[in-house]
Amino acid sequence: MRESQGVNPIGKVLVLYNTPLKPSSISFFSNQTYVQDLLWKHGSRVYKFITSEKGSVYICGSIAMVKDVEKTMGNILKQFGGMSGQEVKNYMDQLKV
């Protein structure tokens, strides 16, 4: 129904995912790229998306990655939004709703 009114319900999508390990890797972590690395790489876009564009962020994966992703999101808010630690905490609490 929303599409019939000229509204795109999805808008923009930025898909980020871990790269698989290559079997030939000498070191276990040598060629691995993590979601938090990609979030940081696209930090200004992520910041703009979640703040001025009121976008939503959906993270899927193991519970083990949560702390690193949250830390990266907090660093993005600090770096690109100039937020203090408390402002980051408040904003992140709103995102989790």
Identify the weakest region by mean pLDDT among 16-25, 31-40, 73-82, 85-94: 16-25
- Rounded Cα distance between 59 and 65, Å, is 10
Instruction: Inform me whether the pLDDT recorded for 29 exceeds 60.
Output: no
CATH 3.40.50.300 holds for 3-95: no
CA-based angle 16:22:26, to the nearest 5?
125
Contacts of 55-61 with CB under 8 Å at 24 or more apart are 55/11, 55/12, 57/95, 59/35, 61/18, 61/35
For position 64, what pLDDT does the model report? 82
Q: Give the residue extent of every domain in the chain.
A: 3-95
Contact 49, 14 (CB under 8 A): yes
pLDDT of residue 58: 79
